[in-house]
Chain A
Amino acid sequence: MTRFRCAIHIVPRRGILDPQGKAVADALHSLGFAAVGEVRVGRHVVAEIEAASEDAARDQVKAMCEKLLANPVTEDFEIASLVRA
């Protein structure tokens, strides 16, 4: 078994109103960052996991996201990185 470290991005799904993202975008605009477009605010989860292979680790992380870490109704997730710990 190998220990992996994975990083997961979870963001509100496009088309679902994200008032937090909008408030951040408005604040950035008022600071003069006029080039900023849409902003979405989500969560970043880092987890360590034991698995036989990178593929097995990826499968487990995906299952964890589908079951708990992301809400399938409102959020999308992305495995941003998966490396040996």
Chain B
Amino acid sequence: MKAGIVRFPGSNCDEDAFHAIADALGQEAVYLWHKDHDLQNVDLVILPGGFSYGDYLRAGAIARFSPIMQEVVAHAKRGGLVLGICNGFQIACEAGLLPGALLRNVSLRFVSAPVDLRVESIATPFTSQYHIGQVINVPVAHGDGRYTADGDTLARLEGEGQVVFRYVNAGGEATDAANPNGSLRNIAGIVSAEGNVLGMMPHPERALETALGSVDGVPLFQSILESLAGGVRA
């Protein structure tokens, strides 16, 4: 697999993502500069965490207009895989790759903590190596993570199995106390209608090594490798 990690001014999890792909997974990783139009034939585009363009106006609002994003959107429209993590999820929503928006945490505080997630769908290129209902531990670190969408959109996401991860307690229940940001329906991650774009606030790239406290992100990347081997093409 060849993964491309987009670098915007203000990205700060780009090196985490590069380390995850190149060192933890032993796959090829390249950086994609925001001003370029060349995706370098990558199989997977990662929109990493950070504060692209200083979160000016709204998180992700300006990054969406970067030259590279035109190519990322075209890649997604061809069925190519896109993984938006944290600020990358916000950018994917602003770019129209995913429905909804990420608003200020209901606590008005930045939250940096490991959280438990329940895997809600394994019928995606990103989650086939989990089992349904599995509770995984992955860190979050964000100030604007409250997933919001209108009622029709939420009903469609739920009905079509597009809600992929939900914040839960250790017992696997989606409670208010387990919700770190006030996201509607405890939504932590969703996929596009076609399933090839995943946006999530938690950081799976920081959960690949025992030294970092969790290896629960490993099956997510294994799922991507499996789906690429099985013929998901850009």
Give residues in A with beta carbon < 8 Å to B.
12, 16-17, 19-20, 23, 43, 68-69, 71, 73-74
Q: Are A19 and B108 in contact (CB under 8 A)?
A: yes
Known A17-B106, A17-B182, A19-B104; contact A74-B61, beta-carbon cutoff 8 A: no
Residues of A within 8 A of B194 (CB): none
Q: Which applies to chain B's interface (DSSP): helix, strand, loop or mixed?
A: loop
Residues of B within 8 A of A71 (CB): 58, 61, 94, 101
Count the A-B residue pairs with Cβ separation under 8 angstroms: how many? 36
Residues of B within 8 A of A17 (CB): 103, 106, 146, 148, 182
Interface residues in B, total, Cβ within 8 A: 20
Residues of B within 8 A of A43 (CB): 57
Contact of B148 among A16, A23, A69 (CB under 8 A): A16
Residues of A within 8 A of B103 (CB): 12, 16-17, 74
Known A16-B148, A68-B61, A71-B94; contact A23-B101, beta-carbon cutoff 8 A: no
Give residues in B with beta carbon < 8 Å to A.
57-58, 61, 65, 93-94, 99-101, 103-108, 146, 148-150, 182
Known A71-B94, A73-B101, A73-B148; contact A19-B61, beta-carbon cutoff 8 A: no
Name the CB-closest residue of B to A23. B108
Minimum CB–CB distance from A28 to chain B (whole Å) comes to: 16
Residues of A within 8 A of B61 (CB): 68, 71
Contact of B57 among A20, A68, A73 (CB under 8 A): A68
Residues of B within 8 A of A23 (CB): 108
Q: Are B182 and A73 in contact (CB under 8 A)?
A: no
Q: A16-B148, A17-B148, A23-B108 provided; 16 other pairs, C-beta below 8 A?
A: A16-B103, A17-B103, A17-B106, A17-B182, A19-B104, A19-B105, A19-B108, A19-B182, A43-B57, A71-B58, A71-B94, A71-B101, A73-B93, A73-B100, A73-B150, A74-B103
